Amino acid sequence: MESIKIEDTRLALVPPTEFETTWIGQELVKRQLIAAWTLLDENDIPLNPRLVGPPGIGKTTLAYSVSKQMGKQVWFFQATMDTRPEDLIISPVLNEENKVSYVASPIVTAMIKGGVVIIDEGNRMSEKAWASLAPLLDQRRYVESQLTGLVIKAHPEFRIAITMNEDATTYDVPEFILTRLRPIIELQYPSEEEEREILKYHVPKAPEELVDKVVALLQRAHTLHLPYTARGGVQILRYSLKLSKTNRSSPSQEFNAAVYAVLGSDAYQLI
C-alpha cells in the first residue's frame, strides 16, 4: 500500500477505484459537471457539484465517466448514517507489529494525489460528519484531523462531487453545507433511445425483442412516475437470460417472471 509522510506522521493511502463504464446520452448534465470542475485562471478554485436524482439513474456513472475523460484517478466514499468525522479524514489501525498506524480516507487520498472523490449518497451523513468537511468545501480547501493534529491541504487538481438520493433514510443536510455544494446538477430519466443504448451496452447479448420489451416497460414507468430506472432494466435483461438458460426457454418467455422478481409485484401495471 502506498504511503506518504506528512510532518512526523506516515499515512497509508488507499488505492483508486477502477472499473469499465461509460456515460450515454444527456450531454447537458455532462457539460454542467465539466464546467463545475473547470478553472478560469490560476486563482480560481473548482466548484463542489451536487448530483441529484432517483436511485439508479446514473449519478455515480456520470461523475466517474467525466473524471476518467479528464484523465483523473477516482476514489469513492460511501456515506452512511454511521459515518464519523475520522472515517472521512484519517483512521487509526493496528499494524502487524500491534502498533497504531494511520490510513487516509478515500477523500484525503484523492486530496493528496490530485484526483477526484465521489461521496455517494451524501445526505445519509450526520451534521457532525459534514462539519469536518466544511473547510474543504470552500476557498480554504483543507481538512484537519483531530486524531493526528494534521492539517492537510487539497492538491490544486483535486475535485469532488456528491451524489444525493431522496428517501426516508436520509438526513437533512445542514444549510452551511448545502451552500457549499453547488451547482446542483439534476439528472433526468433518459429518452427511449438513450435507454435502449444503455441496456445494450450493459447486456450486449440480449435479443432485440427483449430489449424492446424492457425499454417499453421503463418508458411506461417514467410516465407514471414510478421509481424504476435503467439499473432495474439491466437486471431484468440479465435475469431473463439466466432463466431462459436454466429453463431451456426463450428470454422473452421469461420476461414477466424476471420483471416480477426484479421489480416486485407492484410492476404488474407495467406489463
Per-residue pLDDT at 60: 95
Same domain, 97 and 138: yes
Per-residue pLDDT at 270: 85
Which has more pLDDT, 57 or 271?
57
Same domain, 200 and 133: no
Q: What share of residues in the chain are helix, strand, coil (percent, to 5)?
A: 40, 15, 40
Same domain, 162 and 220: no
CATH number of the structural domain spanning residue 37: 3.40.50.300
Mean of pLDDT values over 35-62:
95
Per-residue pLDDT at 43: 92
Q: Please determine, for residue 49, whether its predicted confidence score (pLDDT) is greater than 80.
A: yes
Per-residue pLDDT at 95: 77
Q: Please determine, for residue 35, whether its predicted confidence score (pLDDT) is greater than 80.
A: yes
Which domain range does residue 108 map to? 3-186
Same domain, 168 and 238: no
Which has more pLDDT, 94 or 215?
215
Per-residue pLDDT at 62: 97
Least confident stretch, 60-64, 74-78, 97-101, 216-220: 97-101
Q: DSSP for 18-64?
A: -------S-HHHHHHHHHHH--SSTT------EEE-STTSSHHHHHH
Residue whose grid cell is 420483471: 259
Same domain, 84 and 30: yes
**Structural domain count of the chain:** 2
Q: What is the pTM of this model?
A: 0.91
Per-residue pLDDT at 169: 60
Mean of pLDDT values over 1-20:
92
Last residue of a domain, one of 139, 159, 186: 186
User: Which grid coordinates are listed for 135?
Assistant: 473547510
Last residue of a domain, one of 123, 153, 186: 186
Amino acid at 206: A
Same domain, 17 and 134: yes
d(CA 260, CA 79): 30
Q: Please determine, for residue 166, whether its predicted confidence score (pLDDT) is greater than 80.
A: no
Same domain, 131 and 168: yes
Same domain, 224 and 262: yes
Same domain, 87 and 49: yes
The answer to whether the CB of 182 falls within 8 A of the CB of 140 is: no
Same domain, 133 and 181: yes
Q: Please determine, for residue 267, whether its predicted confidence score (pLDDT) is greater than 80.
A: yes
Per-residue pLDDT at 172: 85
Which has more pLDDT, 231 or 170?
231
Last residue of a domain, one of 186, 216, 241: 186
Q: Please determine, for residue 168, whether its predicted confidence score (pLDDT) is greater than 60.
A: no
The answer to whether the CB of 77 falls within 8 A of the CB of 111 is: no
Same domain, 116 and 182: yes
Tens of pLDDT, residue by residue over 113-148, are 999 999 999 999 999 999 999 999 999 999 999 999
Same domain, 55 and 133: yes
Mean of pLDDT values over 68-87:
96
